[in-house]
Amino acid sequence: MATGDVTRLLAAAGEGDRAAFDRLYSAVYTELRRMAATRMRRERRAVTLQPTVLVNEAWLRLAGSATDFGNRSQFFFAASESMRRILVDYARRRLAAKRGSGMESVTLSGLDLAASGSDGADVLAVDEALQRLERERPRLAQLVTLRFFAGLSIEDAAAALDISPATAKRDWSFARAWLLDAMGAHG
C-alpha cells in the first residue's frame, strides 16, 4: 500500500472511522510483522514470544492510545516504540518469574555492541541506556529505536526522521558509540 494511502487511513481512523481502522490493520500488518520478525531474529536465547504475538500486542497498545499519528513515519515509529516497551515488559516479567536468577539476554548485533566483548546485553539495560539517550539526544534515541527495534535501513530511518541519509549515518555512528559507553558503564 502506498505511503499516502496509509496516511489517509491513519487520518480516517483517528477520526473514529472503524472501517478505516480495520483497513489500516490489513494495510500495515505485513510491515509490522516484518519489523517484529527482524527484532525477534536478534534474540540470542530461545524466546517464547513470537513475532505475531508482538505485532498483536503492539497493535492493541497503539489502538488503545487514541493518538493521532499524523503520517506513516510517525505511526511506524510509534509501533517500534510499542514493541520496545513490550519487550522490556516481557523481560521484566521473565526476570520476576526467575526471582532474579538471571536477566533476559538480547543481542545488540544491530548496534554492533557485541564488539564490546559481551555476547549480548540485557534488554532492560538497553532500555535504561535508551531512556538516558532520549533525555540527552532525542533524535538519536529515535534513530536507534527505528534501526534496532523496527529494523529500518539508514535510508528509511532518515526518511522517517526527515533528515538526510548522511546525517542519519553520522548520528547512527555516534549513537552506537554512546550506547557502547553507556552499556559499559551499566555493567
How many residues in the chain? 187
The reported pLDDT for the residue numbered 46 is 42
Digit-coded pLDDT (tens) for 36-85: 887 777 655 545 678 888 888 888 888 777 667 777 888 888 888 888 88
**Cβ of 76: how many Cβ atoms within 10 Å?**
22
The reported pLDDT for the residue numbered 185 is 60
Please count the structural domains in the chain. 1
How far is it, in rounded angstroms, from Cα 53 to Cα 120?
Answer: 23
Containing structural domain, residue 87: 3-186
Report, as ranges of residue numbers, the positions in the chain whose pLDDT lies below 50.
46, 100-110, 112-121, 187
- The SS3 call for residue 68 is coil
How far is it, in rounded angstroms, from Cα 141 to Cα 126?
Answer: 11
The reported pLDDT for the residue numbered 122 is 65
CA angle 160, 72, 20 (to 5 degrees): 175
pTM for the predicted model, two decimal places: 0.63
Tracing cell 490493520 back to the chain, one arrives at 25
* Contacts with 152 (C-beta within 8 Å, 6 or more apart), sequence order: 76, 80, 146, 160
Looking at the chain, the number of H-run helices and the number of E-run strands are 8, 2
The reported pLDDT for the residue numbered 166 is 96
